[in-house]
Chain A
Amino acid sequence: MIPLSWYLYLAAGLFALGLFGAVARKNAVAILMSVELMLNAVNINIVAFWRYLAPAEIGGQIFAIMVFAVAAAEVAVGLALFISIYNSRKTIAADEINLMKW
């Protein structure tokens, strides 16, 4: 059987990739996609831990389902905000949305 640690390394790699994307990307949609990668890493972690440590309890499964259900809601709100800002500013590049600073 594949050891638990392999899943954790995969999740850690995916999380680091997502975090890098969220910090380095300028396009708001790309940032949201990177956040999705981070959440997928979280889900791999949760499901692996559930399968290896506590398969008799459903807590881990519920947690994983909640994570992607809420992520979908967050993305829906995010895209609505992006459309609203694109209508007025004709850009969704995060570094050009800078009316307010300091």
Chain B
Amino acid sequence: MTKYTKIILAGLFSSTMLVAPALASNVHPVTGEALAHDQTFTYRMLDEASSFDPQIVEDVDGSAIVRDLFEGLMNEDEDGNLVAGVATGYTTNEAKTVYTFTLRPDAKWSNGDTVTAGDFVYAWRRAVDPETASPYAWYMELMSLENAGDIVAGNAAADTLGVSAINDTTLEVRLTAALPYFAQMTTHATTFPSPQNVVEEFGSEWTRPENIVGNGAYKLAEHLPGERSVRVRNDMYWNNDETILDTVVALVINDENTALTRYLSGELDRTDIPAGQYPRLVKEYPEEALSFPRLCNYYYTFNLSDSGPEAFKDVRVRRALSLAVDRKIITENILAGGQPQAFTFTPEATAGFTVPEVEMASMSQAERDAAAKELLAEAGYGADNPLELNLIYNTSEAHKKIAVAVTQMWKQKLGVKATLGNMEWKTFLNERGQQNFELARGAWCGDYNEASTFLDLMMSKSGYNDGKFNNARLDELMAMAKTADDTTPIYTEVEQIIASEVPIIPVYHYAGVYMMDTDLANWPVSNVQQNWYSRNLYKLAE
């Protein structure tokens, strides 16, 4: 038994003790708060979910629903820490290449069947099977499961995947590389079990409310695509006694401003705050307007490939442009939602990440501007030979405001002649992906709460490195980080390389900016990935 297992078991034991009194009274069993009679939570979703199938779903809102309908080996608590899910714990071998999970015997599907290790084996094979065509098949490769890559490529059968059921409650996973954070990765929807008999009986229609069978705390009761979906408590869920919310309603509302109006009219318990409206709302509704850090960054990437402009090959030009961006104006005047300014690629909120000292962060904006002017002059650009560049971004009011502000800063401070290119989303991705740009907007949200989810993007072979930054030392460091026990010095050096080579201009890091009804309790504000579970939430009596 490793220390992880012990912690999980200890946590589980203590929470069971606390919850011992039944939920008969309308009082929260742990905190003693008075609970509302109507335990319905209604929230806004930006768009219709891509799917409710754990192996197919790919959007953030859809994954939140799937986390309610299904349960994986491990869950996250309010702070993003790992807690037991279907698995009560796990052990690993010395080399951290074999993980053995112990499953709880009382985990049930919503049709009453027991959740077994075989259900996970089926689901994981399904995720990599080319037949399933899962857009997240790559995630199983990222998990370093034995043979995952070969199966996805069609060179091996799905049953050769490095996962097997030793018996109904023991799942063994074999990896090709030592992954210290493997268990963390099993909180992702792609790794949730799926019910083989139901999937095989109904095919792609198995996720319809009338067919779906899940093992999560909720069942799908209604689904009207583009309008709403309703999930209700699953009585078969092993921990149903501790679930407080009875009903969760997700309304699809595309427009943030409409959603805000509907929130203010009392139709919603939670919605997103449109850019720039936070200061007003926090004044009017100080207890409802919330802002907390999220695991995403926002940056501009230089095209450093052969198709990129000659000027950007000069690091002085890149650094000058980065220095001249007054991040304070962007975070305080444009976004105005409590977003932190960014001087590193990795957000400060990332678990285990210590923000390294970068020179730019400690300078005042006046010092940065002076340095920027000097650097650009050194590089040979000035009033008679102004630097010209084009910045592309995808259609969005916020992206536009930021791009206009940034190019204005460059123009005023450095005399740069910048043009803006606004593109429709798919066109933008296409142009950026084919290096048909000079400077492009970029943003990334962590797949898991560890700095490599961001820094991997800077590796020369990364498929997401649209600027084609290529630094041998950085590649080497990131390879080392995969198996290192202490990654802090490695990530510090990587961030320092990024700070000195400036392949990107970090602008800001995201904040979750929400309106949240004061009756809604226990929203995981300190879970930076915002992986929330309805069964942890509850409504207070007014």
Does A associate with B in a complex? Answer: no
